Structure 1
Amino acid sequence: MWPPSQASKFLILLVLILVVIYCVFMDTLLYMRVQYYSIETFETSTQTTFQESPTTRLRALSYEDVVWIPCSVNPLCHPTVKALMVDHINHYIYGPLCAILDKALRISDRMLFLTPNTISCAHVFIAMIGANLLTCPNLSVRRMGIVLFQIRMFLDDLDGHVARERKHIRGERSEVGSLGYWVDGICDLIGVVAMMLGIFVYFKQYPPRRGYRGTSASALPYYQLKEMNAAENMEKDHASDVGISYKTKVSLKAIIQVIILFSGQMVLSSVAWNRYINVYQEMFENGNGYLAGRLVTFRSVRFFCATLMWRILNPHSYLHVLSLAVFIDKTWSLLKSVRYIGYVLLLLAVFVTEYLISGFEASVKTSVDGR
C-alpha cells in the first residue's frame, strides 16, 4: 500500500498525462476538421471557386452533418482565428463545460439579469478569496485557493460564451474595442494581479529556502536561518565541516525580482497574444476580398503551427501552469526556472510570428487554388 503522499503524487501525474493526451488528440481532430470540412467564414469561396475539385467536394461537407457531438457543445465545430489560439484547457475543457452549463440553466435565454459583465465582475471576487487562501502555510488550503482560481477562469470562459450566444455569434471571436472587451480585460487583469499578490505574500511570510550541500561550514551565512538535512540530523556544534546541507531563506529582494520577472512575461504574452488575434482576424475574417487565398492560407500547416505556438504561450497557459505549480507545491521552482528563459521563448515567438505574418499576407493575395 502506497503512503498517502506517494498516492497523491501518482494521481496528479496520471491526471496530467491524461489531460496532455486528450489535448494532443483534440488538436489532431481540430487540424483534420479544418482540412476536410467546410468553414463558415469561407463558404462563399468554397462554393464559387473550387466547384470542380474533388478535394473541394469533400471539403464542402458540413462538419455538423457528420459529427455525433452536437455543435452547441463541440469545440471543433466553428474554427475561427481565436479558436485556434485559445489555450487547450479553456478551449477543450472549460468551453464545452460552459456550453453544457448554459444549456442546463438556460443562462443565455432566461437569466437575462446575468449579463456577461456581471459574470466578469463576479469572478473578481472569487479571485480575491482565492488570493487570500494562497497566503496560507497549509498546502491543502492553498490548493483550495487554486480550485477557486480555476473556477475564476471557468467563469471567464462563461462570460464570453454567454455574450456570443446572446449576439448569435458562432465560434470564438474577440470584439476588440467593445465595452465587454475592456470589462473582461480589466477583470482578468485584477484576477491575475490578485493571484500574484497572494503568491508574493506567501513567499514573504514563508520564504523559500536556498540550499548549500558539501560547502565548507566556515563559508556559510550563519546569521541566517539554517536547516540541517533531515537524513544527517546533526546539530551545528557537533557537525563536521563539510557534507551538510544548509538551507537559508531567500531574500525578499530576490522574491520580488522573481515575481516581477514572471509577471512581466505574462504581460508580454498577453499583449502579443491579443495583438496577433486582432491581426489574424483582420486578415482572415474581416476582409471582403481574396476569399480563395484566405481559405488556402487558413488551412495551411504553417498557419496551424503559428496559432499552436500561441496556444501554448498565451497568458491563460501561463496561469494554468502556475496553478499546477502551486497545487504540487513547486511554485518557487517554476518561477525561478522560467524567469529568464521565458522571455527568450516569448521574444522568439514574437519574431517568428512577425516574420510569418508577412508570408501569410502574401499567400492570401497570391493563392488561387488548394495547393
Structure 2
Amino acid sequence: MMWPSSQASKILTFLLLVIVVYCICMDTLLFIRIQNYKIDIFDVETNVTQETSTHSEARTLPNYEDVTWVPCTINPLCHPTVKALMVDHINHYIYGPLCAIVDLGLGISDNMLLITPNMISFFHVFIALIGAKLLTCPSLASRRVGVVLFQIRMFLDDLDGHVARERKHIKGERSEVGTMGYWVDGICDLLGVIAMMIGIILYLRNNPPRRGYKGTPVSTLPYHQLKEINSTEDIEKDHSSDNGISYKTKVTFKRIVQVIGLFSGQMVLSSLAWNRYIDIYQDLLENCTEYDVFRRESMFKSGKFFFASAIWRIANPHSYLHVLSLAIFCDKTWCFLKAVHYIGYLGLVVAVGTSEYLIDNIRSYVLSGMDGR
C-alpha cells in the first residue's frame, strides 16, 4: 500500500467531504447565476414570437462576465448550456477549469495546431490501456496508480472537447451530434471504459473474492454452494468464529463476469439515456429557433429544468466511473459491484421515468407559444 490504511481512510474521507461541499456550493452558485444574469445562448435570438414586457425586462439583465471576479476563461459558471447542466460535477467543476488552465498555460488551442482534439482522444485511449494493465496487478498500490491514470484519461477526455470548442470559438459545452469529432470522442470513450472493465475482470479472475458460510460444516452445505468449490484449496477455515468454523469459498469466474456484465449494462443504458436527453433538451431549448425564445429562456431558468438536468448530473456514465474508481482505490471493487449490479437498474428506471414526465411538461410549455396557442 502507498500509506497505512487508517491514514488513507482519513485523507479520502476529508477529500470526499471537501469535494461534496464544493460541488453543492457550485450548484447553488450556478442556479443563482442562471436566475439573475443573461444567458449567452438566448442573446443572439431574433425570432421572438411573443415580445412581452417581461421578455424586455429579461433582456436588461446584467452580464455575468461584468460582475464575476473569476475570469470566464476558467470559470465554469460563465456560459451555462443544456449540456453543461447535465455534465457530472467532477468534470464540470474540477476538470473543466483545469483544462482551461492547462490550455492557457501550454497554448494548445492557439499555438499547438498540430495537436488536434482527435489526437488527444487517441492518446487517452493509450493511457487507459496502461491503466487497465495496472488494474490487473495484485498490488493495491499499482491498482491505485491505475485509478489515477484513468482519472487522467477522463481529464484528457474533457481537454479534447475544450480544445475543439476553443478553435471553433464556441462558448459553453455543446454536443455536435453527427460530426466526426462526436463519433471519434464517443468511440475513444468506449474503448477506455472497455479497457477498464477488462482490467477489473482479469484482476478478479486472478484474485477471486471469497464468500463465507459461518458455522456450517462443509458436509451440510447446499448443493448450489458446494458446486462452487473446485478443490480443497478453495476452502479456508477460521476456527476463531464464535459460532464455530467459518468456511470461505472463492467466487466463480462465471459469477464475476455476470456481475461486471450487469454493471457494464447499466453504464451503456446510462450513456444512451444521457445522450438522448441532451439531444432532446438542446433541440427544445437551444437549437429550434422557431420556438418562442421567451418561453425557452423561461424554462431554461426554471427550477423544473434545473432539477431535470440534475438527475443526469448524477446518473450519467462519468459519475459511474468516478464512483467505481473510488471503490478500486479503497480496495472495495467487488463489494461495490455486487451492491449495485441489480439495484442500479432500478435507479436508472426511476431516472428515465422522471425524465420522460418532465420532458412532456417542458415540451408542452415551450410549444404552447407557437401559433398563438
Give the TM-score, by structure 1 length. Answer: 0.91
Q: Which moved more, 1:214-223 or 1:25-34?
A: 214-223
Give a deviation string over 1:207-242, Cα, whole Å, max 9, x none: 01111223345324474522244x828xxxxxx9x4
Q: In the comparison of the two structures, how many residue pairs are matched?
A: 357
Partner of 2:367: 365
2:219 matched residue in structure 1: 218
| Separation of aligned partners in 2, 1:217 and 1:149 | 42
- Displacement of 1:55 in angstroms is 6.8
Corresponding residue of 2:335: 333
- State the partner residue of 1:175: 176
Q: CA deviation at 1:52?
A: 6.0
Distance of 2:98 and 2:248 partners within structure 1 = 45
Check whether the contact 1:37–1:63 (CA below 8 A) recurs between aligned residues: yes
Match runs of 1:177-326 below 5 Å: 177-220=178-221, 221=226, 223-224=231-232, 225-229=234-238, 232=240, 242-288=243-289, 289-326=291-328
Match among 345, 348, 362 for residue 346 of structure 1? 348
Question: Could you say which residue in structure 2 is the equivalent of 1:84?
Answer: 85
Shift of 1:44: 5.4
Distance 1:52 1:364, change over 3 A: closer
SS of the residue aligned with 2:236? Answer: coil
In structure 1, the partner of 2:125 is 124
Is 41-50 or 189-198 further displaced after alignment?
A: 41-50
Q: Partners in 2 of 1:176 and 1:332 — Cα distance? A: 36
Cα separation, 1, equivalents of 2:162 and 2:349:
31
> Post-superposition shift, 1:40?
1.1
Distance 1:82 1:52, change over 3 A: closer
Q: Distance in 1 between matches of 2:57 and 2:140?
A: 55
Paired residues for 1:92-131 under 5 Å? 92-131=93-132
- Classify 1:50/1:244 alpha carbon distance in 2 versus 1 (closer, same or farther; 3 Å): farther
Question: CA-to-partner distance for each residue in 1:323-357, whole Å, 9 max, x for gaps?
Answer: 00000000101111111111111122112111211
Given that 2:55 and 2:294 are in contact with CA atoms closer than 8 Å, whether structure 1 keeps it comes out as no
1:267-321: CA deviation from partner (whole Å, max 9, x where unpaired)? 0000000011011111111011310000111111111111100000000000000
1:4 is matched with which residue?
4
Question: Alpha carbons of 1:52 and 1:182: their partners in 2 closer, same or farther (altered >3 Å)?
Answer: closer
Q: Distance in 2 between matches of 1:15 and 1:55?
A: 43
CA deviation string 1:87-109 (max 9, x = no partner): 00000000000000000000000
Per-residue CA shift, 1:2-50, capped at 9, x if unaligned?
Answer: x922111111111111111111111111111111111011225799946
- Distance in 2 (CA, whole Å) between partners of 1:211 and 1:217 is 11
Percent identity between the two aligned chains: 60
1:19 aligns with 2:28: no
Distance 1:19 1:293 in 2: 35
Question: Match of 1:356, as an amino acid?
Answer: L
The TM-score, its normalising length taken from structure 2, stands at: 0.91
Equivalent residue, structure 2, for 1:42: 42
Rounded Cα–Cα distance in structure 2 between residues aligned with 1:138 and 1:50:
66
- CA drift at 1:367: 6.4
Distance 1:50 1:169 in 2: 29
What 5-or-longer segments of structure 1 have no aligned partner?
Answer: 234-239
Q: Retained in 2: the 8 A contact 1:45–1:292?
A: no
Specify the code of the residue in structure 1 equivalent to 2:6. Q
SS at match of 1:334: helix
Is 1:138 the equivalent of 2:139?
A: yes
Letter in 2 for 1:277: I
- Alpha-carbon distance in 2 for matches of 1:52, 1:184: 41
> After alignment, is 320-329 or 358-367 more displaced?
358-367
Per the alignment, in what secondary structure is the counterpart of residue 276 of structure 1?
Answer: helix
Q: Measure the CA separation in 1 of the matches of 2:13 and 2:101.
A: 27
Amino acid in the other structure paired with 1:227: E
Judged with a 3 Å threshold, the aligned counterparts in structure 2 of structure 1 residues 55 and 4 are, in CA distance, closer, same or farther, namely farther
Amino acid at match of 1:128: L
Q: Which runs of 5+ in 2 are unaligned?
A: none
- How far apart, in 1, do the equivalents of 2:18 and 2:52 lie? 40
Letter in 1 for 2:240: E
Write the letter of the residue equivalent to 2:139.
Answer: N
Which shows bigger deviation, 345-354 or 79-88?
345-354
3-state SS in 2 of match to 1:285: helix
Question: Contact 1:90–1:157 (CA<8 Å) still a contact in 2?
Answer: yes
Distance 1:54 1:173, change over 3 A: closer
- Give the letter aligned to residue 332 of structure 2: K
Deviation, 1:179, is 0.1
1:243 counterpart SS class:
coil
Any conservation in 2 of the 1:226–1:247 contact (CA below 8 Å)? yes
Q: Distance in 2 between matches of 1:316 and 1:300?
A: 25
For residue 352 of structure 1, what is the amino acid of its counterpart?
Answer: T
Which range is displaced more, 75-84 or 33-42?
33-42
Task: Tell me, in whole angstroms, the C-alpha distance in 1 between the residues paired with 2:164 and 2:330.
Answer: 35
